[in-house]
Amino acid sequence: MTLVADRVTYRRPDGGFALPPTDLVIRPGRITALVGPSGCGKTTLAHLLAGLLAPGSGSVTAAGARVRRRRGRLPGHTALLDQDPMAASDPTMTLRRALTLAASVRGVTVDPDALADEVGLDPALLDRLPAEVSGGQLQRACLARALAQEPRYLIADEATAHLDPLSTAAIARTLRRRADGGLGVLAITHDRRLARSWADEVRELGV
pLDDT tens profile 120-133: 999 999 999 999 99
pLDDT at 18: 85
Question: Which of 73, 51, 72 minimizes the C-alpha distance to 5?
Answer: 51
- In DSSP terms, 27 is beta-bridged to none
User: Do 163 and 192 touch, CB atoms closer than 8 A?
Assistant: no
Above 80 in pLDDT, residue 167?
yes
pLDDT at 73: 47
pLDDT tens profile 42-77: 999 999 998 889 999 999 998 888 887 665 445 568
Sorted by where each begins, the domain ranges of the chain are: 3-204
Model confidence, pTM: 0.90
Q: What is the mean pLDDT of the chain?
A: 91
Backbone phi, then psi, for 57, in 5-degree steps?
Answer: -150, 170
| Higher local confidence (pLDDT), 57 or 164 | 57
Q: Which residues of 75-103 are buried (b: 16+ CB within 10 A; e: fewer)?
A: bebbbbbbbbbeebbeeeebbbebbbebb
pLDDT at 16: 76
Q: What is the mean pLDDT of residues 7-27?
A: 91
Helix (H) or strand (E) holding 168: helix 165-180
Write down the CATH number for the domain with range 3-204: 3.40.50.300
| Higher local confidence (pLDDT), 64 or 115 | 115
Above 90 in pLDDT, residue 186?
yes
Quickly state the pLDDT bin for 166 (edges 50, 70, 90). Answer: confident
pLDDT tens profile 18-34: 899 999 999 999 999 99
pLDDT at 60: 94
Length of the chain: 207
Q: In what order do the strands lie in the sheet with 184-189?
A: 78-81, 153-157, 184-189, 31-35, 201-204
- In DSSP terms, 106 is beta-bridged to none
Largest Cα–Cα separation, the chain:
47
